[in-house]
Amino acid sequence: MRLLIKNGRVIDPSSKTDDTLDLLIEKGKIVDIKAKIETKGAKVIDASNLVVTPGFIDMHTHLREPGQEDKETIATGALAAAKGGFTSIACMPNTDPVNDNRGVTEYILSEAKKNALVNIFPIASITKDQAGKELIDMADLADAGAIAFSDDGFPVEDSQVMRRALEYSRILNTPIIDHCEDKKLSNEGVMHEGYYSYFFGLKGIPASSEETMVARDIILAKKADVPIHIAHLSVKGAVNIIKEAKKKNVKVTTEVTPHHLFLTDSHLENYDTNLKVNPPLRSKEDAQALIKAVKEGVVDVFATDHAPHTLDEKDVEFDKAPFGINGLETAVSLFLDKLVTKNVISLQKFIGMISTAPALILGLENKGKICVGADADITILNLHKEIVVDVNTFKSKSKNNPFQGWKLRGIPAMTIVGGKIVYSSASLENFK
């Protein structure tokens, strides 16, 4: 099918394009871009007053299949991603069984091919069963289609194991995504350690739990001369370590989630388990440091850390609830409303951090950009439409999202994957 997207404001950070242009899509690729394209036999999308961007990529999603399909399946996670404006998602390996062998990677890819509306890129674990002891056969998993390696949810405590993983990742040219946490320092804490943890009587996770591991792994990555990507940055101390490392040309990149930017430990006053997340919501000072780091370019990527859990699992005492926030369907509106609309960062910068940058880090050569020959993965934004977050409208199987009731301006209006429209909000039609 041919698709002609007309009159949109096309923003492509990779070529510094920001102009009103038409885009012609054929056989899953972008085949023409210019001010006016006249052609017959194509389906026309009028994108007047809308923003046409490279498809958004979430490099930190937890799908729960195989093993925990009551929380999410590959199909429902992909549907949630499509509605959230994401054309590609990379899924973490903490499934059941863990994605530490070829069989699981191949299963995810084949289910994705059959049932997923968006591109799914499996991330394999670093160690067998994510136990931190024995490296998986990284070459075999990269060959099977793993796009990166991560023990996300668990840190790799053994420095020698991490060093070897980094060395293999250099040979395979497949990045390590690093969950930085010293579990001994976290000491089974459930929230950020500070004034509010004492005030609320909950066990705290100190900032040093993250800082020490960020420092260690930057040292190891520098020694191995290999890129490392630090997942879900949450504390000011870690921002400073990464900032210094970047100044010294260490190949470190990092990501931040909406909840670590827009929520803090003080929000836990009602012991709402939907706010229980790892790393925990940190102090106001940390959140401010993260926003500054986004503005200064210390943070490279916006990611969701979408972690679906059932209602029953979260409907328990705070101490006992699982960590995780459901994020795919609220992330884009949160970033647009809180950062772009309020002029904290430019629209171009936002788009770059959620499409171009993750494509570069994950080595997705034909994604994250709008140019002739690139994959026709496109996200169309309506910057004017206001929504009130309602978890009951989520396509995700789970509803554990703390932004319920938030009024936000700016939405993903249409999601196109490989030249196929996989999601269209009613607002696209209404806006014309």
Minimum distance, C-beta of residue 169 to Zn ion, in the bound complex (Å): 18
List 414's β-bridge partners, or say none.
380, 424
Q: How far is CA 192 from the centre of its chain?
A: 22
Residue where the block lists tokens 């084949």: 110
**Closest distance between Zn ion and the C-beta of residue 380, in Å?**
30
Q: Which residues pair with 23 in a beta bridge?
A: 5, 33
152: contact with Zn ion by CB under 5 A: yes
7 vs 400, which CB is nearer to Zn ion?
A: 400
Amino acid present at 288 = Q
Nearer to Zn ion, 8 or 324 (CB): 324
Q: How far is the CB of 324 from Zn ion (least distance, A)?
A: 9
Count the site residues for Zn ion by CB under 5 A.
2
Contacts 24+ apart (CB under 8 A), 292-295: 292/239, 293/233, 293/239, 293/242, 293/243, 293/256, 294/256, 294/261, 294/339, 294/344, 294/345, 294/353, 295/344, 295/345
Residues 74-103 that bind Zn ion (CB under 5 A): none
Residue type, 419: G
Interacting stretch for Zn ion, rule CB under 5 A, among 144-152, 182-190, 329-337, 374-382? 144-152
Handedness of CA 368, 372, 375, 378 (dihedral sign): positive
> In the complex with Zn ion, which residue's Cβ is closer, 65 or 152?
152
Rounded to an integer, what distance in angstroms lies between the CA atom of residue 72 and that of residue 60?
Answer: 15
CB of 231 to Zn ion, least distance (A): 5
Q: How far is the CB of 178 from Zn ion (least distance, A)?
A: 9
Site string for Zn ion, 167-206 (x = CB under 5 A): ------------x---------------------------
Which string of DSSP letters, residue by residue, matches 314-379? HSS-GGGSPP-B--TTTHHHHHIIIIIITTSS-HHHHHIIIIIHHHHHHT-TTSS--STTSB--EE
Nearest to 289 by CA among 325, 336, 323, 240: 240
Q: What angle do CA 252, 185, 325 make, to 5 degrees?
A: 65
Among the listed residues 22, 152, 305, 337, the single catalytic one is 305
The stretch among 23-31, 71-79, 123-131, 150-158 that binds Zn ion (CB under 5 A) is: 150-158
- Part in contact with Zn ion (CB under 5 A); list of ranges 145-153, 361-369, 413-421, 424-432: 145-153
Q: How far is the CA of 374 from the CAs of 2, 201, 354, 367, 421, in angstroms?
A: 15, 53, 17, 6, 16
| Stretch touching Zn ion by CB under 5 A, among 148-156, 167-175, 373-381, 399-407 | 148-156
Minimum CB distance to Zn ion smaller for 179 or for 229? 179
DSSP 405: T
Closer Cβ to Zn ion, 153 or 419, answer by number: 153
CB of residue 288 vs Zn ion: minimum separation in angstroms? 22
Q: How far is the CB of 79 from Zn ion (least distance, A)?
A: 23
- Residue 151 touches Zn ion, criterion: CB under 5 A: no
Query: Residue 165 or residue 421: which is nearer to Zn ion going by CB?
Result: 165
The residue at minimum Cβ distance from Zn ion is 179
12 vs 193, which CB is nearer to Zn ion? 193
Q: How far apart are CA 345 and CA 310, in angstroms?
A: 34
Instruction: Give the position of tokens 């191995």.
Output: 224
Active-site annotation holds for 319:
no
d(CA 295, CA 221): 25
Point out the residues that are catalytic: 305
Residues near Zn ion (CB under 5 A) are: 152, 179
